[in-house]
Amino acid sequence: MGRKKSGTRTKGQGNLFKDPRSPYWQLSYWNGWRQVRESARTEDRVEALAILRERLSSVRVFAGAGSAGERIKINGLFNLLLEDYRRNDRTDLYQAELRIAKHLRPSFGDLKAAKLSSHHIRSYMDIRKAAGASNATINRELSLLRRAFNLGTYEDPPLVSRAPRIPKLKEDNVREGFLEPDQYRAILDALREPVKPIFVVAYHLGMRTGELLKLRRDWIDLDEGLIFVNGRVTKNRKPKVAPIYGDMRGWLEMLLARCRVVAPTSKHLFIWEDGKPIHDFRSPWEEACVAAGVPELLFHDLRRTAVRNMIRAGVPEKIAMAVSGHRSPSMLWRYNIVDTRDVVEAGRRTQRYLEEQNRKQTTESTTERTNARTN
């Protein structure tokens, strides 16, 4: 059975079609050097058309690579990068799209790949620093540029002849913030209703934002009290299981009931009032933090908070790391996540040991002096 096309195709405007093997609309468009076909992941034709137009708006028409990198623009490499992210179902796709659209395309997009120089990189760093971006943020943005060039060199034939050296700025962004119980309640009260369940789950489990927003309804097992996280959405691509406890159960029960009414056909767990999946909630988060009196708090601080709470509750480090998704115990020291009661007890034990050693030394000295006088 052949594909069912949506209408007459107009050259340069892409095309929508249906594949019998999938319920979703399929996209077909020219990204600058080759034809791309991908799923729109929606059964709504209007939404699929909007996605197609978004893809086309990011495409810059340019000649083929010819001699590698002579004519291709960096915009084409960004398209290649995002295509790779979509194909591999990367959890950080949305953040990559934002960074490329807001910062990288305006600065590098229309520049020919062969013309990129150290001067362009340094200028970008200076501009972003002047705008208040941290070194860590600039490094994350430029890592996308580096990755785009690397993918260009992997193509056959290569789209670029070389990947430029992009130095990293020194980072000193080790966070020490934790969320205390009273602050948790204050932020929960101030948040918009659709974001509250995300906050509650993050506070209890310490999951990464990308993992949270990719959670599906059928991964929630309220009877067993568990969340089964598919390896497709975890950073290390390994599946994991997390417990449902505390405030989580009540919020998840209400959320699932609302999902069945607002968006019964969707698989996403966290949705807005109109049923669309939540991809970004930075604005309501920042507003809630200001209202709660903790404007400097980052959502990422919830990861440290959750692990610290588990460690203080007596949960073994290995289990706490498995729940939060941390890969190395070094993070317990990097983020200063230690149980202060254990530290105090260590001091007491050492003090008792030293006092015992001093008593032994004093007793031995007294005995030696007594024996000397007797002899």
Encode pLDDT of 93-132 as tens digits: 888 999 999 999 999 999 999 889 889 999 999 999 999 8
- Are 187 and 228 in a shared domain? yes
Token digits of residue 241 = 């299981």
Same domain assignment for residues 150 and 283:
no
62 and 46 within one domain? no
Judge if 286 and 215 occupy the same domain: yes
Concatenate the DSSP letters of all residues of 7-54 into one string: S---TTS-EEEE-TT-SSEEEEEE-SSSEEEEE---S-HHHHHHHHHH
Same domain, 217 and 255: yes
List the structure tokens of 162. 């070389």
- Taking the alpha carbons at both ends of the chain, their separation in whole angstroms is 112
CA distance 44 to 62: 31
Count of C-beta atoms within a 10 Å radius of residue 77: 28
Task: Quote the number of domains for the chain.
Answer: 4
206-258: pLDDT as tens digits: 888 888 999 999 999 999 999 998 888 887 778 888 899 999 999 999 999 99
| 7 and 93 together in one domain | no
Regarding whether 63 and 49 lie in a shared domain, the answer is no
Beta-bridged to residue 268, according to DSSP, are: 216
Shared-domain flag, residues 191 and 105: no
Print the domain residue range for 38: 1-57
Q: How far, in Å, CA of 204 to CA of 198, rounded?
A: 10
Is 340 within a domain? no
pLDDT in tens, 135-145: 888 999 999 99
Asked if residue 97 is part of any domain, the answer here is yes
pLDDT band at 8 (very low <50, low <70, confident <90, very high): very low
pTM: 0.58
Same domain, 225 and 264: yes
